[in-house]
């Protein structure tokens, strides 16, 4: 490829690994994908990672992507990072992380979240201010946990960042975030487009410790620092975009904008399960995260903690391959191995009921799929209702779901979602939508073009339409009954 052609790098820094996509900025062709792992530690609700591992993995993944794409380093013109949401990165006086980052799925801050939700006028006031009610995953609750459990460390903090903010700062030297990822903190006001001073006062967080909020994730915040250019093997002239959170980047990669009331509902099956849609409306529902999109419109989102990783754990416990599953029949599994966020059951454990002597282990695994898929689809119904739509209305049921994430590549996941939703499903042909969305943000930083329009022209969100199958009402109702009966116990 000639050096005059523009190549952009989209980085997906997720919970357990980093991926870097080298993309032709003109056509959207994925030229190569670099990968590098990083680790998660902790027990009894703790989930932490060393941010230094993220940077090492980013550099390794970018170098691999450029090498495998077989392009000159000089052809790379832009880079953007999409990172796991909500993580708390604290910086010391030397600008380095002062402790391991508290991750989105660290549930130790559940008591702090509940206490915060009762303040400032209660949940309704939080929805009006930030679009979300504090839960354990939100960054504000994690900061409050740090203040209460590690006060000396909290007092010594000289900077507070989200994971993607931290990596963007290492790339460019700029302390900056975007509206999308900032909206997952519960200290950013989606109504005002700025940090909420009352929330910051409540949690004792000096706004001087926070990054500036760029107008969008495609905003050019600088170029590579000398140290970053050396680590990545790229020219210092590479433009660095503000970047965003992983869910916001996936929306960009799908070509979702805020043009209408509700644009293409999405079900993402990963370590967590998420449902989201782009809208210009600002729904306020305590069961949803009222996120901003990276361009300042809205991306209401429901999130479950237990999805593919939890089901894979059941497969391991049963000694089965993840695809060696059968419908659960009379077995019900609520695979809430990490507690649960939606429904808000942070102290829950997994539950299995309906076992008999003759139960096939494959049915237990199938029931784990069903329990996880039910939880995600239940969150989708809540999202649709919050946007003013009746989830049971034929016009709504006939609207295809976009199914993305690692689970979307699995036959059993796809068929379970189809069976429990009764809806048509589109599985985009493009892999790595988070990284591709980040690449579109990078291209926007280079050219000034709208990244959603770029991704739409690239066609990264298109795929074959799978027709609907009859909805399995019996399984749906059975899981709903078990969850309703078990909730008082799971809340303990």
Task: Kindly list the catalytic residues.
Answer: 246
Distance (Å) of CA 202 to CA 112, 115, 210, 320 = 12, 11, 15, 49
Question: Tokens 């022209």, residue?
Answer: 457
Alpha helices of 187-332 — where are they, by DSSP H? 197-202, 226-232, 246-253, 308-318
The dihedral through the CA atoms of 175, 180, 186, 192 has a sign that is positive
Q: 59 is written with which tokens?
A: 């550099």
Q: How far is 170 from 20, CA to CA, in rounded Å?
A: 16
Coil vs helix vs strand at 284: coil
Q: Contact at 8 Å (CB) between 297 and 278?
A: yes
Strands 159-161 and 89-91 come out as antiparallel
Coil vs helix vs strand at 55: helix
Q: 101 is written with which tokens?
A: 């980052």
Q: Which of 189, 86, 203, 188 is nearest to 143 (CA)?
A: 203
Q: How far is 411 from 323, CA to CA, in rounded Å?
A: 7
What H or E segment, with its residue span, contains residue 61? Answer: helix 51-69
Strands 89-91 and 244-245 come out as unpaired
Q: How many CB atoms sit inside 10 A of residue 32's CB?
A: 17
Q: How far is 253 from 454, CA to CA, in rounded Å?
A: 9
Q: Which residues, 6+ apart, have CB-to-CB distance to 248 below 8 Å?
A: 82, 178, 180, 181, 217, 291, 293, 294, 299, 437
Q: Rounded to 5 degrees, what angle do the CA atoms 246, 248, 249 make? A: 65
Q: What phi and psi values does residue 163 have, to the nearest 5 degrees?
A: -55, -45
Coil vs helix vs strand at 396: helix
Q: 320 is written with which tokens?
A: 């089965």
Q: How far is 302 from 322, CA to CA, in rounded Å?
A: 25
Q: How far is 98 from 89, CA to CA, in rounded Å?
A: 8
Q: Is the omega angle on the peptide bond into residue 393 within 30 degrees of 0, that is, cis?
A: no
> What is the separation, in whole angstroms, between the first and last Cα of the chain?
60
Q: 147 is written with which tokens?
A: 């203040």
């Amino acid at each position: 490829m000639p050096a005059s052609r523009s190549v952009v790098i989209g980085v997906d820094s997720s919970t357990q690994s980093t991926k870097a996509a080298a993309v032709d900025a003109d056509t959207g062709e994925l030229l190569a994908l670099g990968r590098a792992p990083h680790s998660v530690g902790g027990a009894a609700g703790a989930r932490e990672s060393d941010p230094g591992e993220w940077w090492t993995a980013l550099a390794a993944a970018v170098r691999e992507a450029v090498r495998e794409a077989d392009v000159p380093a000089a052809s790379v013109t832009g880079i953007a990072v999409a990172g796991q949401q909500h993580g708390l990165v604290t910086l010391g006086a030397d600008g380095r992380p002062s402790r391991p980052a508290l991750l989105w799925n660290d549930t130790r801050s559940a008591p702090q979240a509940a206490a915060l939700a009762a303040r400032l006028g209660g949940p309704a006031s939080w929805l009006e201010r930030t679009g979300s009610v504090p839960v354990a995953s939100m960054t504000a609750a994690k900061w409050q946990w740090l203040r209460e459990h590690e006060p000396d460390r909290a007092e010594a903090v000289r900077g507070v960042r989200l994971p993607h903010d931290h990596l963007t700062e290492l790339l460019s030297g700029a302390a900056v975030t975007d509206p999308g990822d900032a909206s997952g903190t519960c200290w950013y006001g989606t109504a005002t487009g700025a940090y909420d001073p009352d929330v910051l006062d409540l949690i004792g967080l000096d706004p001087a410790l926070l990054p500036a909020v760029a107008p969008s994730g495609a905003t050019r915040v600088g170029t590579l620092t000398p140290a970053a250019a050396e680590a990545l093997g790229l020219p210092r002239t590479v433009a660095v975009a503000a970047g965003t959170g992983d869910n916001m980047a996936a929306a960009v990669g799908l070509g979702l904008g805020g043009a209408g009331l509700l644009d293409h509902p999405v079900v993402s099956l990963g370590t967590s399960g998420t449902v989201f849609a782009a809208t210009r409306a600002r729904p306020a529902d305590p069961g949803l995260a009222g996120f901003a999109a990276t361009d300042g419109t809205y991306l209401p989102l429901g999130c479950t903690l237990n999805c593919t990783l939890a089901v894979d754990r059941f497969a391991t416990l049963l000694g089965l391959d993840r695809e060696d599953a059968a419908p659960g029949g009379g077995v019900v599994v609520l695979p809430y191995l990490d507690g649960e966020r939606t429904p808000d059951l942070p102290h829950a454990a997994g539950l299995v009921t309906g076992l008999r002597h003759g139960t096939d282990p494959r049915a237990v695994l199938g029931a784990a799929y069903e329990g996880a898929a039910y939880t995600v689809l239940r969150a989708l119904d809540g999202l649709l209702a919050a946007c003013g739509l009746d989830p049971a209305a034929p016009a709504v049921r006939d609207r295809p779901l976009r199914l993305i994430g690692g689970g979307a590549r699995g036959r059993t996941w796809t068929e379970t979602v189809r069976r429990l939703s009764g809806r048509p499903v589109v599985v985009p042909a493009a892999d790595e939508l988070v990284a591709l969305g980040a690449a579109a943000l990078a291209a926007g930083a280079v050219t000034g073009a709208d990244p959603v329009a770029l991704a739409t022209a690239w066609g990264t969100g298109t795929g074959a339409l799978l027709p609907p199958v009859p909805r399995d009402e019996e399984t749906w109702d059975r899981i709903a009954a078990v969850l309703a009966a078990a909730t008082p116990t799971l809340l303990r």
